[in-house]
Structure 1
């Protein structure tokens, strides 16, 4: 130990033979210099162990503790004192090895924090086991009053211990819990369980935290327990549950993100108690909805932390880097800001995305990138800064084993820290540090800065709140902004302000609501139809007024508010959809995701992963399905409103989405079917109608049938139950809404037939002899049918049967007569007396086109196999023209007419929900004339 303290750190990594195998770290650490001086005999073995490459894992700790414990018992005799001494020596040895390897570049940050975490767990578990056994001789073991089972102290690690990120000189934040009240049994006297666990907890703290001649094992902080220092040292799960419900505070949600049981759980009863603890903490920490209210709450908490850090820095030497006392944990751009940036995504979304409920900060950042919540470059910068700051934090603590995060004030310490960070000088260190602090601060401000935009219309809403005296002023202001019916709007605003819903809002929500109404007045005034848009805006804001989280989102993200205005203005259907499903506001935050092409394979994988995390929680899984379906539908809708999708592309995407949902539901429901007789069902779904033709609309139901091919004798009953459950999962109303309405009447024998059909039966049914009109109608339906989900082999065999049916020889006159008769029957069911043109059902409309195409497919598929493709009516018309089956020019005109009809029908349904879709006759007179001409040529010529 002749080397001077704080000598220049050699270039890393240091060769294994450096300094003759002597420890390098004591040159930089006064703490380790003292330890090695006090225990010179261990220095050589530690130097050898440091360079051995053996991981500092749980096995190493347990093996190392054995001889240390024996030596301690030889020195002071068996008992608590010996274990305490051995644990303190174990910490010294572990710290020495960590310092040595870290400074030699032989240990990553993750390995350092994991080793410290394992040391804490080993210390807690070892001490707890001995103390429990020691107390048993006097008071026995605690027994649950209700269960009669032995109880154990459940030690929850919070903070960095819970997150497996413990730093080298950290204290450990603990909470002591137990399952049931009761009394101890088997000892000389009895204690209540409550008193027993308090005594055990006190002894555990003393074992770990008391400072002796050998130092301490870990400082212990119990202030995160319910009611902090004023609360009992140990509390039951029932007490914890009541506390969460009645007194749990916002900052405690952040703390419990990291909460993790770190004590050994010996019995099945205790393992069950740990499960109960998770059930208590999860809903407390993670809300079922998107919780944007946490942004302002974290902002407020962070402001308090910054203020406190500023006071401490001022008391030392200032808070700027060149004033040397800067706090790299709590100061601007410090570690805490990185942690808050990661945690906010967990708190906002963790209730709906269980994968975000992880604890390590770097892992959360990686998930935020994977979920598109943070840009990749931001994650790289934050992760790099986090590693740099945590390594710097460790080197600050290496000096004296002090729990410090302040940059040093003495020149000698500054040089030592610079050397440990591999820098030539302290100025170089500060130059390297500053860019990290800057990027962290910028990202934190981008995430948490108050972004409310003041509107120009604040006086209007405020005057409405003042009553009738200001009504005329409000009307004049609204007219100046371009509102057409200012009087009606003033009345609506007044009604909103006087409603019980508004008056019942908490002050914080009412303030946000007021700001949003002001902004809505400004945004709506910029639209083509400001009165209509503002009316929809008020409907929407009133619908979300009791959900503080949604008000927070719109307040925090002005760009989302602007997109809401565009959406409400563009379509009544879109406005109603967003009002029914306000959780979709979250989709308005990411422009790139909104405009991206769908990746259905990735969608299935992501959805399946989310469902797996909630396995066994049927209602939660149903809600996940609905939320994801609503979100994808909304993305399609927004692209539709932007005009970037054709009507055909909209139908394709909505149909692909329905296929994906069916596939995932089939897989999920089958895994939960109690009587399933095989791992993978031999079961498929076939789509008819709009889904079959890939022309699905936003609110279309699904025409489907279920097929199976399984010779097991249980198959009919099992698959019937399976199909019923699939329908229930798709059609049930939950808190998140509904997926689809399902129509299965197109199955063999219609509503009178079996819900599921074996494939051989389906084949026989489709290929049976017959020439009645009902049979032709089924073959017409088959022209728009396709396999859409489930067993691909059955799907392929269905397509073979479909081709075989379509290829059957048919008599043209008979087929023509039957289809004309069926068309007349359909027309009778949709007659109307108005002078408007029904785009779908009137002569010259969409049904005429569809029946014409079906006739051509059924008549000519035998000689022209290309017509068997389920390519859609437009493509089939072009094929028929190219094949000379109909006039090619007329085919092109009718295809254009069909596209125009569908687009107009789509527009009407989006604009005002009009169904049936009817327009002035003259609007499509020419297009309808082309359709009638084709009908005449095919059926009457």
Structure 2
């Protein structure tokens, strides 16, 4: 939101303006400083009048110390932003002259008053925006805490000695964590500061007459630091300090060792402490130890799983706040009241706590940045985030206006007409009534958004009609008999009610549920009636619920997933619909419950991104993971694949994606993953062994390609397709790498390939990425894992079998160096364009097809090609039987090998559809036959996809596709290919 507008000071405040000016003039005259005031420009006097009108605090500061105005004007600090370095250096210069503790207190307070006047001036005159104001306040707080700490530390060391770590034997420093708005650098004009003190390790001090324990040293130091900041002197205070967020609150020790902190949060940390820790930042003391401490505490804050218990906990916390607001009559509190700042913070924190363990982009402190991430990552619509940000800024400006009045720590709207008029003026409104109406409209919008994310959307319904699914609770908890339960299921539309009832009771008494803790059992008892109720509304209620039950049993111990589905009824409905449509999807989600996250956003679920966005999204995910954390990288790759494969399957079931697009997306997904896997493997090998060389002696820069054959090469991947890959390099296999642990080039390139296979095929908690088949490389299993470009070319030209050239028709570079890819494609075109003995080729292709049918086909027979009757009791293998998909694939491969020497356009593309187009364009078959083959091939593939989603093999009854099979076989023969006698057709 843009800054509030500057408007003229209304007549109702003119008296206040004049009083402020009079107080200032009187103070200046006493000090003989009126010349400064008289020399002010018209613009500067207008700014001064506005500030004196709005802020009693500034008036009082100028009354007590008119020199402050002169100094601020002369320094130019009122007219420009200050960097964090300037703020720190200004304070450090002042503190460097301090010789006593009392002088330190005076120094801090005078510096604070100066900064406060400067910041209020720039805020009220709208020279600074909200971000600058919050950063200036936070930066000065950081500097004050750190400078005071360092001065006090040095003084205490003189008396008590230097604290030394028991294990490291190194001097110890305090780590001071800033929490809340200080941690997020969102401090307001009169905020207190929430701090936690910790030190790395126990031990004793050295260098003094009497040693003291490190705990005692830092406790004394912490007490002095609080006094230096918090105590009120004639100069006021520096910062109000609140230490209640530390472990055990006010009743606990003032400082903790890192080990004690870790133990506390691991064993006793409460939900509200997780929210507090989201914004924790090391603001002073030992910065390196601060990073270490926050790393130790991160697992407490951000869970590795989707933590939907956060919503319920936030809701309960909000209810407590609302009760307090009601009890104290704080409806006009713009922070805690309905539609206030806290509700916007809760919205951001809910997503951070739920998803932050897995989505590292959410592990950040400033709320506005978090909201931007929620929009960028698709958690919330951009329009919603824009509204939240705009209103948040508005409310923070209101907060600053309230606190600028008298430097009081309050978020309550003023209740007197004079202060109300001042706030309206600072907010750019002509009157309080107009401002208050706009404020209420904004708060209503925030309250509405808050309820969409956090509040129980069924709360009112539950109060009036009971909880959703209550009618099914007696069935689930077995307070009614089996007969009554089956009648209830029948009346609700469930078929095979007795079988369903038995399955539900089996789940209830299953061994996996016996060990579930009380909280998990309670969540299951809340969820199951809702599940039955949601299933009853669908067309296939019994099928839906039966396919979801294995998932429920699988996640019973991790009941956070039950909370997810309970909190999101639309997500539960989507789960039931998808599982009813596809047992394959049901199995995927059961094996990998983290996929439930994908069902939350309907738009994202049914709209897979295009190739470019897909690759960029994966790069972004991996960029957030440390380069040396292979385990987390592998998990991120696997989750990315699982999530996007589910989105493709859901889109296919919903009818949003036709067959060809499904294969496109699945192929793009594989390419994006292979690109990142190649870069990971290459980088890891370079770190370990150094950079290999090219044949000309220059360093290799990823002179490596991954070639895809088969389905991935032909852009025809299915949901469970594996990867037929070949690795090729263009480096010098003999020269050594330049690392400390050097190896020859051939071994280096082999290690890259081995690393890729390891990343792709290692079984983790999220499964494997892909099954990888390397048997199509030169010489198959007996050959090198990685071939040189030259070696590959020689093999293809002199040693490769016809079936290997057939495979080359569908070979395509998936990722790697552009120059090597272009060289490979030139080799491929040259090999495919070689003129071959047509009769020999026909025989070899036919023989290879026979071997495949014999090994992979069924026993389906036909009583002669002139008869269109197939035995209806037999089965037809859509892929491998005569007249099936492989026949069409072999035809395109045969034609490419037979005629590319004459028609190079046949070898341009690797997919069957476009090869058939080229066959028609070159008149090798008629356009009608080409179109018919394309439609038949698509029909076969669609059937295979549908069967795969049903977890069924590629088999249909033999009388299906009878006409198609017959025509494919006729076209097979028309190309001079033959069906060998005694083959299985």
**1:864-875 counterparts in 2 under 5 A?**
864-875=903-914
Whole-Å separation in 1 of the counterparts to 2:46 and 2:553 = 76
Residue 481 (structure 1) aligned to one of 489, 492, 517:
492
Is 1:632 equivalent to 2:640 in the alignment?
no
TM superposition shift of 1:174: 0.5
Asked whether the equivalents of residues 476 and 529 of structure 2 are also in contact (C-alpha less than 8 Å), the reply is no
Q: Which position in structure 1 is the counterpart of 2:888?
A: 849
TM superposition shift of 1:146: 0.5
Segment drifting more, 36-45 vs 179-188: 36-45
**1:888-907 counterparts in 2 under 5 A?**
888-907=927-946
Gaps of 5+ in 2: 1-12, 22-39, 692-698, 737-743, 861-873, 979-985
Q: Which position in structure 1 is the counterpart of 2:136?
A: 115
Asked whether the equivalents of residues 21 and 47 of structure 1 are also in contact (C-alpha less than 8 Å), the reply is no
**1:129-278 counterparts in 2 under 5 A?**
129-265=150-286, 271=288, 273-278=289-294
Residue 750 (structure 1) aligned to one of 753, 771, 780:
780
Cα deviation 1:165-191 (Å, max 9, x = unaligned) = 111111111100000100000123211
Is 1:650 equivalent to 2:628 in the alignment?
no
Whole-Å separation in 2 of the counterparts to 1:263 and 1:591 = 45
Q: TM-score, normalised by structure 1?
A: 0.93
Residue 328 (structure 1) aligned to one of 328, 334, 340:
334
Cα deviation 1:198-256 (Å, max 9, x = unaligned) = 01000000111111111111011000111111111000000001001110000111100
Residue 506 (structure 2) aligned to one of 478, 495, 498:
495
Q: Which position in structure 2 is the counterpart of 1:560?
A: 571
Q: Which position in structure 1 is the counterpart of 2:297?
A: 281
TM superposition shift of 1:470: 0.8
Distance change >3 Å, CA 122–CA 809, structure 1 → 2: same
Segment drifting more, 870-879 vs 531-540: 870-879
Q: Which position in structure 2 is the counterpart of 1:323?
A: none
Q: Which position in structure 2 is the counterpart of 1:662?
A: 674
SS of the residue corresponding to residue 388 of structure 1 reads helix
Whole-Å separation in 2 of the counterparts to 1:560 and 1:725 = 38
TM superposition shift of 1:57: 3.0
Q: Which position in structure 2 is the counterpart of 1:923?
A: 960
Q: Which position in structure 2 is the counterpart of 1:536?
A: 547
Whole-Å separation in 1 of the counterparts to 2:579 and 2:120 = 60
Q: TM-score, normalised by structure 2?
A: 0.89
Whole-Å separation in 1 of the counterparts to 2:85 and 2:542 = 72
Q: Which position in structure 1 is the counterpart of 2:477?
A: 465
TM superposition shift of 1:490: 1.3
Asked whether the equivalents of residues 778 and 795 of structure 2 are also in contact (C-alpha less than 8 Å), the reply is yes
Asked whether the equivalents of residues 451 and 558 of structure 1 are also in contact (C-alpha less than 8 Å), the reply is no
Q: Which position in structure 2 is the counterpart of 1:620?
A: 632
TM superposition shift of 1:7: 6.3
Q: Which position in structure 2 is the counterpart of 1:570?
A: 581
Q: Which position in structure 2 is the counterpart of 1:698?
A: 719
Cα deviation 1:821-855 (Å, max 9, x = unaligned) = 11111122125447211111212222222212211
SS of the residue corresponding to residue 351 of structure 2 reads helix
Cα deviation 1:136-187 (Å, max 9, x = unaligned) = 1111110000110000011111111100011111111110000010000012
Distance change >3 Å, CA 36–CA 888, structure 1 → 2: closer
Distance change >3 Å, CA 66–CA 444, structure 1 → 2: closer
Whole-Å separation in 1 of the counterparts to 2:139 and 2:664 = 53
Segment drifting more, 215-224 vs 484-493: 484-493
SS of the residue corresponding to residue 922 of structure 1 reads coil
TM superposition shift of 1:511: 4.0
Distance change >3 Å, CA 235–CA 409, structure 1 → 2: same
TM superposition shift of 1:52: 4.9
Is 1:736 equivalent to 2:766 in the alignment?
yes
Is 1:353 equivalent to 2:359 in the alignment?
yes
Q: Which position in structure 1 is the counterpart of 2:596?
A: 585
SS of the residue corresponding to residue 739 of structure 1 reads coil
Cα deviation 1:382-401 (Å, max 9, x = unaligned) = 11111111111112112221
TM superposition shift of 1:671: 2.2
SS of the residue corresponding to residue 195 of structure 2 reads strand
Residue 433 (structure 2) aligned to one of 427, 430, 441:
427
Distance change >3 Å, CA 932–CA 105, structure 1 → 2: same
Residue 306 (structure 2) aligned to one of 290, 302, 305:
290
Residue 602 (structure 1) aligned to one of 600, 613, 617:
613
**1:721-732 counterparts in 2 under 5 A?**
721-732=751-762
Distance change >3 Å, CA 206–CA 7, structure 1 → 2: same
Asked whether the equivalents of residues 163 and 217 of structure 2 are also in contact (C-alpha less than 8 Å), the reply is yes
Segment drifting more, 152-161 vs 534-543: 534-543
SS of the residue corresponding to residue 705 of structure 1 reads strand
Q: Which position in structure 2 is the counterpart of 1:309?
A: 325
Is 1:676 equivalent to 2:697 in the alignment?
no
Distance change >3 Å, CA 278–CA 67, structure 1 → 2: closer
Distance change >3 Å, CA 860–CA 717, structure 1 → 2: same
Q: Which position in structure 2 is the counterpart of 1:839?
A: 878
Whole-Å separation in 2 of the counterparts to 1:342 and 1:31 = 33
Whole-Å separation in 2 of the counterparts to 1:792 and 1:625 = 24
Cα deviation 1:670-712 (Å, max 9, x = unaligned) = 2222213058311110000111111111111100010111124
Q: How many residues align?
A: 910
Q: Which position in structure 2 is the counterpart of 1:783?
A: 809
TM superposition shift of 1:457: 6.0
Whole-Å separation in 1 of the counterparts to 2:765 and 2:774 = 25
TM superposition shift of 1:891: 3.5
SS of the residue corresponding to residue 16 of structure 2 reads coil
Q: Which position in structure 2 is the counterpart of 1:322?
A: none
SS of the residue corresponding to residue 146 of structure 1 reads coil
Whole-Å separation in 2 of the counterparts to 1:670 and 1:626 = 19
SS of the residue corresponding to residue 262 of structure 1 reads strand
Asked whether the equivalents of residues 836 and 921 of structure 1 are also in contact (C-alpha less than 8 Å), the reply is yes
TM superposition shift of 1:422: 2.8
Distance change >3 Å, CA 650–CA 606, structure 1 → 2: closer
Distance change >3 Å, CA 8–CA 633, structure 1 → 2: farther
Tell me how large the CA RMSD over aligned residues is: 2.3
SS of the residue corresponding to residue 69 of structure 2 reads helix
**1:384-403 counterparts in 2 under 5 A?**
384-403=390-409
Asked whether the equivalents of residues 610 and 665 of structure 2 are also in contact (C-alpha less than 8 Å), the reply is no
Residue 611 (structure 1) aligned to one of 618, 622, 628:
622
Segment drifting more, 415-424 vs 751-760: 415-424
Distance change >3 Å, CA 64–CA 904, structure 1 → 2: closer
Residue 952 (structure 2) aligned to one of 901, 914, 922:
914
Residue 844 (structure 2) aligned to one of 814, 818, 830:
818
Asked whether the equivalents of residues 6 and 27 of structure 1 are also in contact (C-alpha less than 8 Å), the reply is yes
Cα deviation 1:8-46 (Å, max 9, x = unaligned) = 999xxx976432885752333222222221112222222
Whole-Å separation in 1 of the counterparts to 2:709 and 2:381 = 42
SS of the residue corresponding to residue 263 of structure 1 reads strand
Distance change >3 Å, CA 7–CA 807, structure 1 → 2: farther
Asked whether the equivalents of residues 23 and 43 of structure 1 are also in contact (C-alpha less than 8 Å), the reply is no
Whole-Å separation in 2 of the counterparts to 1:66 and 1:822 = 83
Whole-Å separation in 2 of the counterparts to 1:595 and 1:899 = 22
Asked whether the equivalents of residues 179 and 236 of structure 1 are also in contact (C-alpha less than 8 Å), the reply is yes
Q: Which position in structure 1 is the counterpart of 2:36?
A: none
